[in-house]
Amino acid sequence: MAERIYNVLFLCTGNSARSILAESLINSWGRGRFRGFSAGSYPKGQVHPIAVELLKRMNLSAEGLRSKSWSEFSTPEAPPLDFVFTVCDRAAGETCPVWPGQPMSAHWGVDDPAAVEGTDSDKWLAFRQAFRELENRIKIFVSLPIHSLDKIRLQEQLNAIGRTRADEPA
């Protein structure tokens, strides 16, 4: 029997940095067991250039990544979602669409690297920090025995992952 592929949507307001990084990370670390997507409540319309460059430097795919509205995932034609994670506090506080299939959800807030002002070095440090935090959480998530956890225990695990910081071991 083929192993099930889980569809995971990462939400943010602008869908230009954090959710984009998470989409690429889960597609890499999920090793075919997870299919990542990202969207925003108010998409910027373009992916932040540092996010694209960082993914390339980390040997992760930036192919096909685009800033898009979360409304694309609330239609009957959208892929059925198993998990929805908000990665910014603003999106977590917004009223989300009703997702077909009632996917499990959790808030995995990460500081917005695209909002950092200062030198290029300051901006790159912020993007690297967001990347590390997301990567750590995604590594933990993809290692969960999802098929053997009941919904209550799985929700507890998803919430706990959202409290994990970048400097904690995956």
Q: Which residue among 17, 21, 26, 88 is the active-site one?
A: 88
Give pLDDT, residue 9: 96
Within-domain flag for 168: no
The three-state secondary structure class of 168 is coil
pTM beyond 0.95: no
Among 93, 84, 38, 83, smallest CA distance to 62 is for 38
DSSP symbols for 36-98: EEEEESS--SS--HHHHHHHHHTT---TT----BGGGGSSTTSPPPSEEEE-SHHHHHS-PPP
* Residues forming beta bridges with residue 6, ordered by sequence position: 34
Divide the 170 residues of the chain into consecutive groups of 10 and give the mean pLDDT of each group.
85 95 98 96 95 98 94 89 88 63 90 95 97 97 94 95 74
The C-alpha angle 47, 52, 54, rounded to 5 degrees, equals 140
Give pLDDT, residue 137: 97
Give pLDDT, residue 90: 65
Say whether 96 is catalytic.
Answer: yes
Within-domain flag for 167: no
What CATH number is given to the structural domain containing 50? 3.40.50.2300
Give pLDDT, residue 66: 96
Within-domain flag for 83: yes
Q: Which residue among 60, 62, 96, 170 is the active-site one?
A: 96
Within-domain flag for 72: yes
Among 56, 34, 50, smallest CA distance to 137 is for 34
Within-domain flag for 170: no
| Domain extent at residue 100 | 6-161
Within-domain flag for 166: no
| Cβ neighbour number for residue 5 with a 10 Å cutoff | 12
Each residue's pLDDT tens digit, 24-68: 999 999 999 999 999 998 999 999 999 999 999 999 999 999 999
Q: Which residue among 9, 11, 12, 20 is the active-site one?
A: 12
Give pLDDT, residue 96: 64
Give pLDDT, residue 74: 84
Within-domain flag for 18: yes
Say whether 12 is catalytic.
Answer: yes
Total domains in the fold of the chain = 1
Give pLDDT, residue 88: 85
Give pLDDT, residue 169: 58
Within-domain flag for 1: no
Say whether 5 is catalytic.
Answer: no
